[in-house]
Amino acid sequence: MNPIIKLSDNAALRIKEIMSNAEKNAVGVRVSVKSGGCAGMSYVMEYSKEVNPNDELIEDKGVKVYIDSAAVMYLLGTEMDYKKGDFSSSFVFNNPNETERCGCGESFKV
């Protein structure tokens, strides 16, 4: 079975960096989606301080990413990347389920 999310090498490296600076009680990063943004839904990434038994765990390239159970159906097959630009750097979600994305790239619709 394919993982819900695949991590690019850049994303895995960045998560390792983030986790090395995280508070001691953080167990990984957690990805979820919330309603909002111009296109209807947006990605949320935060430290996970405890393991939610309903979360899906992705262990890839030496990092742990917890996926909110409510977000799984929106994220199936997504590749998570990390891009550095001249003025900003951010995680980028290449999601095959998107039917629409707002111009700023902050929200999407499935």
Residue 74 in 3-state DSSP? helix
Are 38 and 102 contacting, i.e. CB atoms less than 8 angstroms apart? yes
Position 64 scores a pLDDT of 92
- Tell me how far apart the 2 most distant CA atoms of the chain are, in Å: 39
- Give the H/E segment covering residue 16: helix 9-20
Pick from 9, 2, 51, 8: nearest CA to 29: 51
In this prediction the pTM is 0.83
pLDDT at 95 over 90: no
pLDDT digits (tens, 9 = 90+) for 9-41: 999 999 999 999 888 888 889 999 988 767 678
Q: Does domain 5-109 have CATH number 2.60.40.10?
A: no
Domain ranges for the chain: 5-109
